Amino acid sequence: MIPIMRTAATLLALLVATACWADSTQEHVHNASHGVMPFDMAKTLHIFVMNDQGGVQKVVAREGAGPEQADLIRQHLRHEADAFGKGNFGDPEHLHGDSMPGLAEIKAAADKIQVTYSELPDGAEITFKAADLHTITAIHRWFGAQLSEHGADAKAE
């Protein structure tokens, strides 16, 4: 549990350190997201849950967004879970850049990460599970970078 707390502290420091450039990065990610994601970022929310096995990335439709957004979320996350399970992280690389924290480590350890897709009433989620601390920490770093870059379109739980 202690390494998880260190990871959380490191992510908080990363978020604070990047605050000065976050606005332009967040605007870029929000505006460029349509080239990677079929749903409307303004009508959806990315939720990142870090845990001691890796984490869960949820995308849900905001209240009043309508059922079409949930369907688009499911379509996209089903595709992403399949790609991630094969070690293909091309969409996050395209949107966030190939130097985002944790990404190189995750790609290198893709065969050590169990990736599963699940539907939610208002969207879907992808669960990332790993057994070794190095890979779990990489997943946490990757989640932290996405939290920072998605800005108001994301939150941690």
pLDDT tens profile 122-154: 999 999 999 999 999 999 999 998 888 877 778
Q: What is the pTM of this model?
A: 0.78
Q: How many CB atoms lie within 10 A of CB 98?
A: 12
For residue 112, pLDDT over 60 is answered with: yes
Place of tokens 């949107």: 95
Q: Output b/e per residue, 113-133; b: 16+ Cβ within 10 A.
A: bebebeebebbbbbbbbbeee
- As a whole number, mean pLDDT of residues 46-69 equals 96
Q: Please state the domain count of the chain.
A: 1
Quick one: pLDDT at residue 5? Answer: 54
The percent of residues above 90 in pLDDT, for the chain, comes to 57
SS3 139: helix
Q: What is the pLDDT of residues 34-52, one digit of tens each?
A: 556 677 888 999 999 999 9
Domain with 64 in it: 2-156
